[in-house]
Structure 1
């Protein structure tokens, strides 16, 4: 077991979500998720989960600083989306299942011929691409958001 984990940062509406892989499973900062769900008391999220859905870990940052935080696993994440109904929950669920969790898993997957999700910054936006057979692919539903609009 590691002494400290290096988080991957995801951003939605200018709010960070830190994720790590522990034993091939994604775990997320409870405080970050609570803020995304609009909870005024983030500790409420941690207390409403089962013991196997949460744990306390140490995160190590690029600045060589460390922080002890509570994290929740994937099951706890989905439970929180259902329990703490928030108007953004449906969109948050889509973002988590289509972008965050697959990207986190791909970062820790062994190298091989399978397609992998990668991220790149383009025009001040974070874009998730698929790296497959040496080429980068953009999801079709992301295209209208990426192309600049022109007034005719």
Structure 2
């Protein structure tokens, strides 16, 4: 059994969603997801899941401490999105499917010859980049952000 996991923290509208890989499968802190869904009692989300969709694990903090948290599986996450239907949850589901899941799955990839998504901090933003063949690749839709910053550097010289 694993002693403690190091979570990857994703931010959506300044709210965190911590995720971990257990046996190459994504699991998410139930409390964080409940807050993103706007539930009045976020601590109750995990209790509404089936026993196989929820477990308690220890998360390791950067300070060295550990915290026991309830995590839910990927299937339970989508179940919660469906159950607590709200118009905002459609964009939340898209963000989870297109950004969070691929990044979290790539965390477990060890083969340096395969491309891997990473989160990079850039000008107080978190940007998804692709680490491949020893270089970082920027998504086309993020290119104007990087180009404007680079142009500002060139003008100052």
Q: For the Cα contact (< 8 Å) 1:117–1:128, is it kept in 2?
A: yes
Displacement of 1:100 in angstroms is: 1.1
CA distance in 2, matches of 1:87, 1:145: 29
Tell me, yes or no, if the aligned pair for 1:38 and 1:86 is still in contact at 8 Å.
no
Task: Give, in whole Å, the separation in 2 of the partners of 1:103 and 1:127.
Answer: 11
Larger radius of gyration: 2
Which protein has the bigger helix share? 2
Q: CA deviation at 1:92?
A: 1.0
Give unmatched runs, 5+ long, in structure 1.
none
Any idea what the Cα deviations from partners look like across 1:7-62, whole Å, max 9, x if unmatched? 11111100011111111111100000000000011133212211111001111111
Q: Which residue of structure 2 aligns with residue 103 of structure 1?
A: 103
1:76 alignment counterpart: 76
Measured after TM superposition, the shift of residue 146 of structure 1 is: 5.8
Q: TM-score, normalised by structure 2?
A: 0.87
**1:114–1:76 distance in 2 versus 1, CA, 3 Å:** same
Residue by residue over 1:103-133, the C-alpha shift from the partner in whole angstroms, topping out at 9 and shown as x without a partner, is 1111111223221101111111000011222
Partners of 2:144 and 2:42 in 1: CA distance: 35
Aligned to 1:57: 57
Is 1:9 equivalent to 2:33 in the alignment?
no
Query: Could you say if the C-alpha distance between residues 145 and 37 of structure 1 is closer, same or farther in structure 2, counting changes exceeding 3 Å?
Result: farther
Structure 1 residues 123-134: aligned runs within 5 Å: 123-134=123-134
Give me the whole-angstrom Cα distance separating, in 2, the residues matched to 1:119 and 1:89.
Answer: 23
Partner of 1:34: 34
Whether the aligned pair in 2 keeps the contact of 1:54 and 1:70 (CA below 8 Å) is yes
Consecutive unaligned residues of structure 2, counting only runs of 5 or more, are 149-157
Q: Which residue in the other structure is 2:22 paired with? A: 22
The RMSD of aligned alpha carbons is 1.8
